[in-house]
Amino acid sequence: MEKLIRINKRMADLGLCSRREADSLIGEGVVRVNGKKAVIGQSVSESDHITVGKNIHADKVYLAYYKGRKIITHSPEKGEVDIASRLRKDYGITGVYPIGRLDKDSEGLMILTNDGRLTAPLLDSDNGIEKEYEVTVDKQVSNGFLRKMESGVNIEGYLTKPAKTKHKSLKTFTLTLTEGKKHQIRRMCAALGYQVESLKRIRIAHIEIGGLKPNQYRKLNKEEVQKLLELIKVRA
């Protein structure tokens, strides 16, 4: 008899999405097990066929989205607004979910999709996917500060991976990372005596935020999608 596991864990093991994202997608009714609509908390076996989308042939959607400040990426609490709610209310868009997170007080680029194959590869720091941020701090940025940010900062016992920086103005710089620990940039700056005043993600891999404004989105073009899939070694 095959071993049974919770569907959200199985979806995470398959690289379709995180467990929390799985529960959200199941709640939206877009997950199916052997062609039947899944329910939160159900058990599945390794031989069960899980699909995400209205059907196995559902068109894949890839969006670049500008998350504004105070908007929650996932799992909003009472009184909070999340990305899915804004998309549904403002554009009638459902069935896509954000890959990764930006904290409540940060803003900028997120990739939204219904293609669960992207989640694990894009979030795995071993894959070296670059994410570029524009950061403004509370005092003048020094060359020494930038060198330390580039070489690695000890945040509560963890040494961050090498990064890239570029000085933009008196208190603003860009930082390019290939990892994403919780509140990493804020913690890196704090460890070096700086406080972040604003934080905006402007690029993920080759995809740039461009002229998007908060709560605006655009569809990724064919070339952007193809390059993204090639980057994470996923077949089109």
Choose the catalytic residue: 90, 103, 115, 138. 103
- Tokens for 76, please give them: 């909003």
Query: Residue 235 in 3-state DSSP?
Result: coil
Do 177 and 112 have their domain in common? Answer: no
Whole-structure pTM value: 0.78
Does 57 fall in a domain?
A: no
Do 171 and 221 have their domain in common? Answer: no
Does 236 fall in a domain?
A: no
End-to-end C-alpha distance for the chain, whole angstroms: 35
Do 197 and 218 have their domain in common? Answer: no
DSSP string of 146-194, one letter each residue? HHHHHH--EETTEEPPP-EEEE-SSSEEEEEES---TTHHHHHHHHTT-
Domain total in the chain: 3
Per the annotation, the verdict on 23 as an active-site residue is no
Do 178 and 223 have their domain in common? Answer: no
**CATH number for 70:** 3.30.70.580
Query: Residue 61 in 3-state DSSP?
Result: coil
Q: Which domain holds residue 75?
A: 62-122+212-231
**CATH number for 19:** 3.10.290.10
In order along its 236 residues, the chain shows pLDDT tens digits of: 678 999 988 887 776 777 777 887 888 788 889 888 999 999 998 888 888 764 444 578 999 999 999 999 877 888 899 998 899 899 998 888 899 889 999 999 999 998 878 888 888 888 999 999 999 999 999 999 999 999 999 999 999 999 999 999 999 999 999 998 999 999 999 999 999 999 999 999 999 999 999 999 999 999 999 999 999 887 76
* Vertex 18 angle, CA 104 and 149, to 5°: 50
**CATH number for 140:** 3.30.70.1560
Do 139 and 90 have their domain in common? Answer: no
Do 149 and 110 have their domain in common? Answer: no
